[in-house]
Amino acid sequence: MSVINFDFRNQVIKHNASLSYCYQCSTCSGGCPVALLTNGEYNPRKIIEEAILGLQDKLIEVQDPNPWLCSTCQKCVELCPQKVELTEIFTLIKNKCFEEGKYPEAFHAQGQAVLENGIAIPYSKAVLSRREKLGLPIITTAPIEEIKTLLRQTNFEQNIIKREAE
Amino acid sequence: MSYDLFLGCVIPARLPFLEASSRKVFEKLGIKLNDVEGFSCCPDPTGIEQIDHTTWLALGARNLSLCRNNGGVISFCSGCVETLKGVNYFINKDLTTKKEINRYLQKVGKVYEGKTEVKHFAEILYENLENIKKNVEKPLEGFKVAVHYGCHYLRPSEIIEWDDPFEPITIDEIVKALGAESVEYDLKMECCGNPVEKSDRDLSLLMIDNKLKAIENAGANCVAVVCPACYQQYEFNQRELNKRNNTEYNLPIFYLSELVGLAFGFFPEEMGLNFHRIKPNELFESIHF
Amino acid sequence: MEKVSKSALVIGGGIAGIQAALDLADMGIHVDMVEKKPCIGGRMAQLDKTFPTNDCSICILAPKLSECYRHPNITLYSYSEVQKVEGSAGNFSAEILKRARYIKEEECINCGLCVEKCPMRVEDEFDRELRKRRAIYIYYLQGVPAIMTIDKEKCLWFTKNACRICEKTCEREAIDFEQEDQIIKLENIGSIIVATGYSLIEDIDKDVLKNYGYGKFRNVVSALEFERLECASGPQGGHIKRFSDGKTPKKIAFLQCIGSRSDRVEKYCSSICCMYTTKEAMIAYEHDNELESYVFYIDMRAGGKGFQSFLRRGAAEYNIKYIKSKIAQITVDEKENPIIIYEDLDNDKITQLKVDLVVLATCIVPPQGIDNLAEILGIELNDYNFIKTTPFIPVETSKNGVFTCGCVHEPMDIPRSVAEASGAAAKAAEIIRGG
């Protein structure tokens, strides 16, 4: 049983009003490459439908359909006859999953890397010597303390640490 | 003409040879690229944005606040371009967002007004198409190229504002200007599958398998890409697919800059083509390049 | 009947314009009717059948065409356009450009000898370019006036100073290459009715249809093209065949809302497509009882007397399956069979359906040239570029004395167009008789 939660729906609409334009025509799901290959296990229309109904538990707790399967190819956004900003709405839902600590490990690892190094992929010794061989300039990346200060402002650091603790 | 250069993470820290060919091509075209100190991750629109949109905006805006060049900033990576264009889009669309992001930036002594122009390196190449044609010394005869645009080079069109989201022409035109053939194939506009690797590796492999199948069926002998994520997806997974499915994929994957460089007469080694996992030598021999 | 000194000008000779003209003429009011095409009849003449009765379209239209042509109170200017309108309600004057047909109208008896001999093949506009006609032609088989026209753009005499075979063939010496365009001045017009109908989205913007492969895949056709294919006098003689291999389709997918109800193209509902699609599928089934039809829709919008039961009959008796799903894209297999990918909303699964033919329910758009005509008449257009009217007086335009009816002010079906035509005629007569 899913619980209808209009507060949740209103939160989403407040963030992105285009949710309320959806008339459930299923152009998005018919055009989605992932929906096709997962035979509807991932289904953009259904996520939007659940958001319209405010099915918070389905979207955040159960995650059915699994929003992390979206390939962010943006076809649905281009195809939608009502110009619903689907991927922006999916991002909002995934952000809420993140706040709850319910998101795949690979995203967490990337978050940690950015938090620790300022960049997603640290420079290995092998790459640095390869860069030298190719005659490429030395890279000076972001001052890490500055990045950490910024990521504390947006609560990112706290959310990553919270997940680590779990 | 000059631009600030935003390198991002994947290219400089994992695929530096793509950076080498790109820099060389721009140098040859007389376009100056300024390196800027202190950039962070763009950050990844398929990763960090998905877990925290605000953080994505804040880090992206900080990066843009470091750019000084009047010509704006370019990147060799479609993901970085989408992020930086996206930051401009969201900041300029909504004053509240702009104020919020600048409140965070203020804490680290930065400010960003949303005015820096962002371009993809392939946009610049297309704008210099005539210049490219003039510099072709060794036309790419025999190259049957499957052009893979990738999603973030084109979409969302409201943010990217470049080329057609479903029937693009720019990269095909560049490839043709080099003397190569651009081969039409099914699924040309479909996603390579790289972003879903983070949540479902099998699905990600299925997506690239379908694309490779379509490309082989169409008779292409190589692929051109403009995004390091697509590059990795195509290059790194062929061997894995062969192992899993008994396929025999052996398709060289070129970065657009590498194809331009080859046509300009650069040696494969000076562009680091030897660092490719799938060596293009066999192809070169078969078409007497 | 008392003699009325003021006349009415009806612009557009489709079913709406014809009905308005006949009503006025029967009231004893003289009508000048101007039609851009060589023959009157409009869109209705292109249709095979009409819903919801599935009557033969030309069979119910033809008597009205000849009545209109022969009515003593109607002067018909076909192949003509309104160029200038001056004055105000009760006293307009107009200038009509009557284009030269290069045929002596009173001599031509539509025998067709000239057509047989004419060597030039030209895309047939009436048949949606699905077949060729000659450079000398009658606009369509049952067209009124039943006389020939020479297509100056294509005729060898006008383009290359050669041929004139039609002239030699015509036993009645009806060919006249010396004819010139004429300007005709009309005075004493009491009121004007605009009934210039509609265009279709594929006429103005083919890009909209590219996701559906229209123009690229041979087995994807528009609804009006399909209507011509079903028609016994159409390019395939009523035996529907695919363009790729000439096979009779056994599975047809009808895709609704092509260009309409979209924030990207036209925001309004085209209003007639749910019904005409069902009609087309029914007729196709009558041609071939093995046919399976699939209608992909957003919502079935069939609001009219008997319309819902029409759809139910389609499902029950004509093997039509209605599937709620708007189609994103079409691909084809190696045999050019269209493949439709859609979400089956009964089980939320993504399903693929291979069909033989796809028919696109392309939407009604304002007729080409409406901006120009609106400027000539001094009337306003609405946000969608249809003629602006108000809900309570749907036949009145923004200008006193100028009325409208039919699809030129919003998409509608034939019964409503005819009803509006009579309304517009009554309003027009009010000014002429009351003034």
DSSP C220-247: EEEHHHHHHHHSTTSTTTT----TTT-P
Residues A51 and A119 both lie in one domain: no
pTM for this predicted structure: 0.93
Residues A61 and A84 both lie in one domain: yes
Domain residues for the domain of A136 are: 105-165
Residues A49 and A123 both lie in one domain: no
Taking an 8 Å cut-off on Cβ atoms, the answer to whether A118 and B40 are in contact is yes
Give the domain-ending residue among A52, A82, A99.
A99
Distance from CA of C274 to the nearest CA of A (A): 15
Q: What is the pLDDT of residues B180-224, one digit of tens each?
A: 999 999 999 999 999 999 999 999 999 999 999 999 999 999 999
Query: How many CB atoms lie under 10 A from the CB of residue B221?
Result: 21
- What per-residue confidence (pLDDT) applies to C376? 98
- What per-residue confidence (pLDDT) applies to C4? 64
Domain topology for B2-121: Glutathione S-transferase Yfyf (Class Pi); Chain A, domain 2 (1.20.1050)
Assess C301–A contact: CB distance below 8 Å, yes or no.
no
Determine how β-strand C74-77 pairs with β-strand C80-88: unpaired
Taking an 8 Å cut-off on Cβ atoms, the answer to whether C264 and A81 are in contact is yes
Q: What is the pLDDT of residues A79-126, one digit of tens each?
A: 999 999 999 999 999 999 999 999 999 999 999 999 999 999 999 999
- What per-residue confidence (pLDDT) applies to B72? 97
CATH number of C7-99+181-198+366-434: 3.50.50.60
Query: What are the chain B neighbours of A70 within 8 Å (beta carbons)?
Result: 195-196
Taking an 8 Å cut-off on Cβ atoms, the answer to whether C210 and B186 are in contact is no
Assess A28–C contact: CB distance below 8 Å, yes or no.
yes
In a domain, A1, yes or no: no
R_g of chain B computed on alpha carbons: 19
Contact C290, C250 (CB under 8 A): yes
- What per-residue confidence (pLDDT) applies to B196? 97
Residues A85 and A158 both lie in one domain: no
Query: What are the chain C neighbours of B167 within 8 Å (beta carbons)?
Result: 210
C88: which strand partners?
C91
Assess A26–C contact: CB distance below 8 Å, yes or no.
yes
- What per-residue confidence (pLDDT) applies to A1? 67
The chain B residue lying nearest C207, using CA atoms, is B167
Determine how β-strand C121-123 pairs with β-strand C132-134: antiparallel
Residue B280, preceding peptide bond in cis (omega within 30° of 0): no
Contact C163, C157 (CB under 8 A): yes
Assess C262–A contact: CB distance below 8 Å, yes or no.
yes
Assess B37–A contact: CB distance below 8 Å, yes or no.
yes
Query: What are the chain B neighbours of C210 within 8 Å (beta carbons)?
Result: 166-167
The chain A residue lying nearest B155, using CA atoms, is A74
Q: Which of A26, A46, A83 is closest, CB to CB, to C264? A: A83
Best mutation target among A32, A71, A147 (most B Cβ atoms within 10 Å) is A71
Chains that touch B (3 or more CB pairs under 8 A): A, C
Report domain B137-286's class.
alpha beta
Assess B17–A contact: CB distance below 8 Å, yes or no.
yes
What's the mean pLDDT when you consider all of chain A? 95
State mean pLDDT over B113-123: 97
Q: Domain spans of chain B?
A: 2-121, 137-286
Q: Which residues contact C381 (CB under 8 A, 6 or more apart)?
A: C366, C370, C371, C374, C387, C388
Q: pLDDT tens for chain C, 435 residues: list them.
A: 555 689 999 999 999 999 999 999 999 999 999 999 999 999 999 999 999 999 999 999 999 999 999 999 999 999 999 999 999 999 999 999 999 999 999 999 999 999 999 999 999 999 999 999 999 999 999 999 999 999 999 999 999 999 999 999 999 999 999 999 999 999 999 999 999 999 999 999 888 898 899 999 999 999 999 999 999 999 999 999 999 999 999 999 999 999 999 999 999 999 999 999 999 999 999 999 999 999 999 999 998 989 999 999 999 999 999 999 999 999 999 999 999 999 999 888 999 999 999 999 999 999 999 999 999 999 999 999 999 999 999 999 999 999 999 999 999 999 999 999 999 999 999 999 985
Domain count, chain A: 2
Taking an 8 Å cut-off on Cβ atoms, the answer to whether A130 and B40 are in contact is no
Distance from CA of B101 to the nearest CA of A (A): 9
Assess C312–B contact: CB distance below 8 Å, yes or no.
no
Question: Which of C279, C275, C322, C324 lies closest to C299 in space, CA to CA?
Answer: C324
Best mutation target among A20, A22, A29, A36 (most C Cβ atoms within 10 Å) is A29
Residues A74 and A116 both lie in one domain: no
What SS3 class is residue C87? strand
Alpha helices in C1-118 (DSSP H): 15-26, 42-46, 57-70, 113-117
State mean pLDDT over B277-283: 96
- What per-residue confidence (pLDDT) applies to C2? 54
What's the DSSP call for residue C263?
Answer: S
- What per-residue confidence (pLDDT) applies to C406? 98
In a domain, A59, yes or no: yes
State mean pLDDT over B241-251: 97
State mean pLDDT over B65-82: 96
- What per-residue confidence (pLDDT) applies to C29? 97
Q: What is the percent of chain B with per-residue pLDDT over 70, rounded to a whole number?
A: 100
Indicate the CATH number of C202-363 among 3.40.50.1360, 3.40.640.10, 3.50.50.60, 3.40.50.10810.
3.50.50.60
Give the domain-ending residue among A99, A117, A151.
A99
Question: Which of C134, C21, C136, C4 lies closest to C67 in space, CA to CA?
Answer: C21
Residue C52, preceding peptide bond in cis (omega within 30° of 0): yes
